[in-house]
């Protein structure tokens, strides 16, 4: 996992096709924290003219997953088992969506993570999730 975490942070990375497709950039991945950024694109907007909640949820889930990945030992993997997102305002204008995740608690088989998505310092959504350590 360590090689992946190094490679995914490089500009123009290809180890994470979802990040490449959406345009997600990794700002930081450390032992218990991950920060991702996503520039808003017209393709992310749904019928009401706002960024789709699923885009925000995806960025939050990925930030939390990468915070967990940073805590894994060689040979381990992880999978989301539960995700709860609370939306506070629409994501529609600004310099891009920033998701910051931190590991709240890590056990042998389960990890609990919290994250916050913001635009220009204003909170758009918060999430918490559980991840299975495989």
Q: Which domains are delineated in the chain?
A: 2-133 (3.10.129.10)
pLDDT of residue 23: 96
Asked whether the predicted pLDDT for residue 1 surpasses 70, the reply is: no
pLDDT bucket at 92, cuts 50 / 70 / 90: confident
Q: What is the pLDDT of residues 11-68, one digit of tens each?
A: 999 999 999 999 999 999 998 999 999 999 999 999 988 999 999 999 999 999 999 9
Q: What is the mean pLDDT of residues 85-113?
A: 93
Complete DSSP assignment for the chain:
-HHHHHHTTSTT--S-HHHHHHTEEEEEEETTEEEEEE---GGGB-TTSSB-HHHHHHHHHHHHHHHHHTTPPTT--EEEEEEEEEE-S---SSS-EEEEEEEEEE-SSEEEEEEEEEETTEEEEEEEEEEEE-
């Amino acid at each position: 996992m360590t090689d992946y975490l190094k490679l995914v942070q490089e500009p123009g990375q290809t180890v994470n096709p979802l990040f490449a497709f959406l345009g997600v950039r990794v700002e930081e991945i450390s032992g218990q924290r991950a920060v991702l950024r996503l520039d808003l694109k017209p393709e992310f907007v749904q019928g009401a003219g706002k960024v789709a909640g699923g885009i925000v949820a995806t960025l939050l889930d990925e930030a939390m997953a990468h915070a967990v990945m940073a805590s894994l030992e060689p040979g381990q993997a992880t999978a989301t088992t539960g995700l709860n997102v609370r939306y506070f305002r629409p994501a529609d204008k600004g310099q891009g969506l920033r998701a910051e995740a931190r590991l709240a608690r890590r056990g042998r088989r389960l990890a609990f993570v919290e994250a916050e998505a913001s635009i220009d310092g204003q909170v758009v959504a918060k999430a918490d999730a559980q991840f299975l350590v495989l």
